[in-house]
Every structure is written in structure tokens, then in C-alpha cells.
Structure 1
Amino acid sequence: MSDATSGTNNAWEDPRLRALEQLLALPAAELRPTLDQAGQLISEVLNAEKVDVFLIEHGTQCLVAVGTSQTPMARLQKSLGLDRQPLANGGRAVQVYETETPFISGRVEDDPLELPGIKQRLGVRSTLMAPLPIGMEMRGVLGVSSARNDFFTDNDLRFLQAAARWVGMVAHRAELVQELTKLAVKQARRKAAEELITVLAHDMANYLLPLQARIQLIHRRAARKQEPEDLRDAAGAAASLRSLTRLINDLLDVGRLDQGLFSLRVQPVDLAGLVRELATTASTSEHPVHFEGPEELVTVADPDRVRQVLENLVANALKHSPPGRPVDVKLEALARPEGPWVRVSVSDQGPGIPAELVTTLFERFIRGPGSTGLGIGLHLARRIAEAHGGTLEVAQTSSSGTRFELSLPVAAG
């Protein structure tokens, strides 16, 4: 090869190499502006009259020009609505996306498979298209157009295929940055909300004792005067106050867990007796709670905290059970390689938990279907189980019911 020929090849290659370098140097900002810049770079290198970065929009089954060169033909395309190409309409871009095969044509006006709007209204005569992978999947098409016949070469197509891979990397990076930014904002908002709620819970707790004392005075006065309506109202107010107290205590417990101030008062406890008593107390004529287990099963745990977990599970099961259907509570001993464990399962016959909620069910402030609480009960219950060295899981959920399982080592930490 002569020096002159070598120099010509280098001159041909350098602009393309620089363009690829510039593609990778694009800032990982928002996706659309990043792809717009990528389209403009490729348009300048290939002297094209339009470059599109088409991405599939699964909801509408359309290829959408998310990134486009800033050229008159690109602006005309948008005004004609040709920046959105439904898969059902066919066309060369759709074919390249579906077959993942690159395409080149210098006589688009004679191509029976191209969309009439591309040929007649945009006036495209030459086109290059390459499939566009982003991450681990095929996500779209990188397309280049010219209003002149036989304008592009096979070398241009090879360059476009390389550029498509690089554009895919740039797009993937931009999407990751967007997701990380959204996640950081979401976490910051949640953290601020959690801190605010904890402060409010502390302040509200200061008013509970005086309020409880007042309700007790009203109750005693009504009892002394034998006023049944006032007695009933006082009893209702006391029940509401107990619910409010439990809610505030749960919020404070979550804060203590986050701050490392949460502690357990572990001691030998007859878990069978504790669970049997809880089932008896929670059982009603409309929703019986059935207990199955041994007469006695002693373990080491914080009885108040274990009761707190089980009360939450049973209350949830009762809430979601159809009238007349029982809630089943089963206690059993387990033999595991690391030592003896105990397991309490709580089963209802409700509608089950939607699959999309199961993975986030134990996160704080995530409420299940039909729930009116703050969404901290299950989060706190799992944290208490983990503080004992145990686990709390959704063992089964379907249209015929849900089963939660609390598992604890016999010698709790």
C-alpha cells in the first residue's frame, strides 16, 4: 500500500474515531439530551440530513425517536408525527429492530417495504440502520438518512454498527445515572419523613398519660353516677387511646432500632402458653382463632416483643379473613443443624397478597391491600424477629389465603 493510500485511509478513519471518542465522552445526564447529542455527532460525521436514535416504547409498541439530530429533515419528521413508528405498521426501522439485522439502501423510493411517509413526505433517498443494544437487551434502532441517492457506503454502515454499540453504552450509563438520582432523592425524602415522624411520635407520647388520666376520671365519674351512655363513650375513648398508644410506641421502636437503642429483655418463656392465650383473647364469634401446638414449649426470648409480633400477625389475619373463616395459629419445634428452633405460623383464608407487594411488604410505610395503617407493623415485626436472631417471612400467599411464619432459635441472642 502506498503512503498516499495510507494517508487517505487515515484521513477517512480519523473523523470517525474522534466521533466515537466524543460519544463516550458525552455527559451521563438525562437520557433524551444525551441521545440528541449522540445523533448530532453522527450526523456531522456522515454528512447526514437526519439521524434518529429510536427506542422501543413497550406500553404503546412503538419505536420512538428519543434522540434526534438538529436538522431540517429531523424537525419535519417530528412535525409529521413520523418520530413514532408503531411496530404494527412495519417499515424498515421496525424490520431492523425485530430481526436485529443492519440495513443499507441507496434507493429508498423504490423500496416497497419502507413506509410511504418516509419516502414521499420526508423525501428520504438513502438510509443506514443498525440495531441498538442497551445493557443486555435489544432496545431500538440507530438510523441515518439522506435526501440523495446512493449516498452511503458499506464502510458507513460498518461505522454505524460500531457507533450503535457505543451509543448503547452511553444510553445505558445515562439510564443508570437517572435511576441512581431518583433513588437518592427518594431515599432522602424517606429519611426526612422518618425523622419527622419519630420527632412527632416523641412529642405525642408526652400527651398520652394526661389524656389517659382524664379518660379514667370520666369513666369513674360515669360509673359513680351510673350513666351508661357516658360509660360507653369513656370505654370507646379508652380503646382509641390504647390504639394510639400502640401506634406511637411502634414508631418510637422503629426509631430506636435505627439508632441502635433497641434492646431485648430475654428470659425463659413458655411460648405455647403465650400463643394459646393470645389466640383465645383475639378469637371472636365472627373470626375464631384456632391454636395448634404442644401443651408447653419453653424458649428464651423477650415475651413482650414476641407477643407484639404475633399480635400484629393475628390482627392482620383477622382483618383480611372473610366473615366466619377461622385464623389458624400453629406452634411447632424444629430441629436444625445449628440447633433447636421454634416456629409460629399464622394462616388466614383471605384473598392473598398481590405478587407485586410481596417483595416490599416488610419495608416501612408500605401498606398492604385494604390497610389503613401507617405501614410499619410488619416492618417492626421483622426487625424484632431479627433482633432475636430469627426470621419473619411470607411462607405462602394465594387467592385461598396467606401464611406468615415467625422462626426463632431456642437460645435467642
Structure 2
Amino acid sequence: MTSVTPGVPERQAARPASMPVRCPSQVCDLDVLPDGVVVTDATGVVTAVNSRALAILGADRDAVLGADARVALPLQDLEGRSWWTCADPYGGLATRTRISETLLALPGDREVFLTATLGRERPRGPVVQVVVVLRAAAARRRAEQKTSALISTVAHELRSPLTSVKGFTSTLLRRWDRFSDDQKRLMLETIESDTDRITRLVAELLDVSRIDSGRLELRRQPVDLPRIVERHVEGLVASGHAADRFVLQVQEPLPEVWADPDRVEQVVANLMENALRHGAGVVTVAIAGSPGQDFLLVRVSDEGEGIPEESYPMVFTRFWHSTRRGGTGLGLYVVRGLVQAHGGTISVGRAPCGGAEFCFTLPAGAPEHVA
């Protein structure tokens, strides 16, 4: 008596004439694909499998090739039912050519996303080949968690300033005559400060989106980096910081650098304000050319406690915070993206005085399309 696997047709003695024959080189070509691929024939036997699929399945090639598909791929839905039985890739509508992505489980509580393409000899004919594509679910789960964390962070960061803006505007509208001019000015200044905070957060999120999608545009032109730093220091002093907290060191001569001045100022501003917020003492910005003058080197350091060495690999990732929590944790992620978009590098270390030191480079010379 011959046993028949549910969802898979009984094995035939001969391969259909139109069934594609896969030579070893064709099978090897599947290994360049980033997703797992398993190919079965009209009888439900595995005829090809790539290395990624074997890694997902945790199986050896010899154990999978030539095996019954249901045994080689014991796929179940999240309620414990066999995918081969429920999806029935060899049966169902004669017009069906594809099975949409589904989240399934493998033994050992491993989750995978599966899609399948059904090959037929002729329209509405029997299925002679099933190509199963497997994607490990862990990476997508991590991406979903990052998205959830981003939404949570943004909601938290927006709530406080929006509550303040709403509260002060409502109070002014309803009780305008009860406040003195000084009180009104204070409330309006608070509203302005909070709206600036919201604007910065939105700009930061837009930068993250552009960096992640590769849509960041740079308007390159010759930049005077010392002047950019001087201008930012002037703004910080005007906002109430002591002038003696800032030191600018420039080692001449400096190579010519073509960059987006607004983006470079954004990098400098972020690093200096981080030094003020999380560091201590004097904030030093040192600018010099490399020995071969092929790039410009900028160091921003403070005299605080510094950053623990074990945290260095995490500093430029999303949502990283120092021990003193504050902000979205996206600023340094954006800084790295801006520097790398210019073709430069950025790193973090310990300053000679013991505080944190951020060092970034910008390539010298005009870009080819401008020169």
C-alpha cells in the first residue's frame, strides 16, 4: 500500500516533459540570493535548495535534497496546523500562481515568513513545480521593534512641548486681561521655545528618514569651517553661555573642503551642544588638515566624565543615551549619517583631559562633478 502525504500529490514514475531540469550550476546560483529558496517538483520532492534555506531550516543539504517536501519543511501556522495541508500548494484553484506571504513556525519555535510561486505546464494545468521562499522573521521583528521604539520616543518627546504650548495659549486666550505684560512675554517666550523644540524634532526625524532611504541631498560648496564654529559659538554666548567655556584651535594651513555648509553646521552644533549638555568644563574645537592634506580633521572635546569605553560601539546607533538621559537619542545617529554622506568618518574616544572627544573628517578638494 502506498502512503500519500496530505497536500502533496502521489509521486509519479517519470518527471513531466516540461519540468525544468536543474543542473548543478543552476542550483549553486541560488546561493547568491539573500533569502532561503526551496524548489519542489510535481511529486513534492525537493529538487533544489540554497545555503540560506539550509541555515534557516537548520538542516544539511544531503538530508533535504530528494526528500519529501513536508518532511524537509515541517512548516506550521501559528495555530499548529500544517502549511502543506492548509495552503495545499498542489491543489486549490487552477488559476492560482502564487501564495502570499505568511508567518509560519518551524520546530524549535523559530518563525519564518514564506511566499510560494506555483509553476504549471500550461494555464490551469497541474502544478509541476513549487518555489518556496523563506525569510527569517527575527530581522523583521527587530525592525518592527525599532519602528515601535521610534514612535514611542517621538510621542514622548512631542507630548511635553505640545502640552506646554496648548496650556499657555489656552490661558492667554481666556485670561489675557489678567496678566501683566511681563507675564505675557514669559509665556510667549516659553511657547516659542517649545515650538522650536518641536521643529528640531521634526527636522531630526526627516533627516533619519532621508539617511535611511538614501535620499539625503547635499549642496556642496567651499566651506570655511573655522567661521562656522565661530558663528555657532557666538550664538551660544548670546543665549547665555559663558564665552570662556569655548576654545577654538585652528592649525594652518587647512585644505579646501567642499561640503554642504548647513549640514556641516548641523554636525558641529550637535557635537558642541552635546558637550555642553553632557560634559563639563571647557569645550574645545580643534581643526587641522591631515598630513597629506587629503582631508580635514575636526575634534570636539570636553572636560567631563567622558563616555565609558564599552559604550563606544553604541554611541552612533539610534536611541543611544548617555547616563544622563535626555533628548530623542537620534542626534548622533544623524551626525554620523551626515558625515558619511560627505564621504567622511566619525569616531568617539577619550579626550586628553579625560572627557569625551568626537573626531570627524571631511574629504578635501572639490567633488568630481563640480571640479
TM-score by length of 1: 0.47
* Aligned residues of 2:309 and 2:349 also touching (Cα < 8 A): no
1:408 aligns with 2:362: yes
Output one character per residue of 1:101-135: Cα deviation in whole Å (capped at 9) or x when no partner.
xxxxxxxxxxxxxxxxxxxxxxxxxxxxxxxxxxx
Q: Which has the larger radius of gyration?
A: 1
Note the C-alpha offset of 1:270: 1.2
5+ long unaligned stretches in structure 2? 1-56, 60-107, 112-135
Tell me how far 1:332 sits from its aligned partner. 1.0
Matched ranges for 1:233-382 at <5 A: 233-283=187-237, 284-285=241-242, 288-293=245-250, 297=254, 298-322=256-280, 325-336=281-292, 340-382=294-336
For 1:232 and 1:395, locate their aligned partners in 2 and report how far apart those are by CA, in whole Å.
41
Structure in which a larger fraction of residues adopt helix: 1
Contact 1:279–1:290 (CA<8 Å) still a contact in 2? no
Instruction: Find the counterpart in structure 1 of residue 340 from structure 2.
Output: 386
Whole-Å Cα distance in 2 between the matches of residues 329 and 316 of structure 1?
Answer: 13
How has the CA–CA distance of structure 1 residues 287 and 373 changed in structure 2, closer, same or farther, with 3 Å as cutoff?
Answer: farther
1:123 aligned residue: none
Equivalent AA in structure 2 for residue 376 of structure 1:
L
**Partner letter of residue 365 of structure 2?**
A
Shift of 1:239: 1.8
Tell whether the 8 Å contact from 2:301 to 2:351 is kept in structure 1 after alignment. no
* CA-to-aligned-CA distance 1:279-331 (integer Å, 9 cap, x gap): 23324228711111158854211111001111110011011233xx2111111
Distance in 2, Cα, partners of 1:346 & 1:385: 14
Q: Deviations over 1:373-412 (max 9, x none)?
A: 1110000000000000001110326992111012101236
1:293–1:331: 8 Å Cα contact kept in structure 2? yes
Alignment partner of 1:407: what SS? Answer: strand
Distance 2:232 2:341 in 1: 22
Tell me whether 1:187 sits opposite 2:148 in the alignment: no
SS of the residue corresponding to residue 293 of structure 1 reads strand
Q: 1:232 to 1:287 in 2, by over 3 A?
A: farther
Taking the TM superposition and a 5 Å limit, the aligned residue runs for 1:69-80 are none
Cα shift readout 1:15-39 (whole Å, capped 9, x = no counterpart): xxxxxxxxxxxx869xxxxxxxxxx
User: 2:186 & 2:249 partners in 1: Cα distance?
Assistant: 35
- Matched letter for residue 286 of structure 2: K
Q: Provide the aligned C-alpha RMSD in A.
A: 4.0
Partner amino acid for 2:246? V
Distance 1:287 1:242 in 2: 27
* Structure 1 residues 139-162: Cα deviation after superposition (integer angstroms, max 9, x where no partner): xxxxxxxxxxxxxxxxxxxxxxxx
Structural mapping, 1:23-34, within 5 Å: none
CA change 1:405–1:231 in 2 (3 A) is same
> Does the 8 A contact of 1:293 with 1:332 survive in 2?
yes
Name the count of aligned residue pairs. Answer: 224
Query: Using a 3 Å threshold, how does the CA distance of structure 1 residues 343 and 190 change in structure 2: closer, same or farther?
Result: same
Secondary structure of residue in 2 paired with 1:359? helix
CA distance in 1, matches of 2:276, 2:227: 21
Classify 1:412/1:192 alpha carbon distance in 2 versus 1 (closer, same or farther; 3 Å).
Answer: farther
Cα distance change, pair 296–269 in 1 and its aligned pair in 2 (3 A) = farther
For 1:175 and 1:332, the matched residues in 2 are separated by 55
Contact 1:330-1:346 within 8 A present in 2 as well? yes
> Partner residue of 1:5?
none
Shift of the alpha carbon at 1:184? 5.1
Residues in 1 aligned to 2:279 and 2:213: alpha-carbon distance in whole angstroms: 36
In structure 2, do the counterparts of structure 1 residues 199 and 379 end up closer, same or farther at CA, with 3 Å as the change threshold? closer
Task: Report the CA distance shift for 1:365/1:199 in structure 2 as closer, same or farther (over 3 A).
Answer: closer
Q: Distance in 2 between matches of 1:403 and 1:320?
A: 12
Give the aligned residue type for 1:331. I
SS at 2:217 equivalent: coil
C-alpha separation in 2, matches of 1:368 and 1:287:
25
Deviations 1:323-347 (A, max 9, x none): xx211111111234xx621111111
1-side partners of 2:154 and 2:332: how far apart?
21
The aligned amino acid for 2:294 is P
> What's the secondary structure of 1:313's corresponding residue?
helix
Displacement of 1:230 in angstroms is 1.4
Report the Cα distance in structure 2 between the residues aligned to 1:237 and 1:227, rounded to whole angstroms.
Answer: 15
Taking structure 2 as the reference length, the TM-score comes to 0.51
Q: Does 1:231 align with 2:174?
A: no
Unaligned runs of 5+ in 1: 1-26, 30-173
2:142 partner letter = K
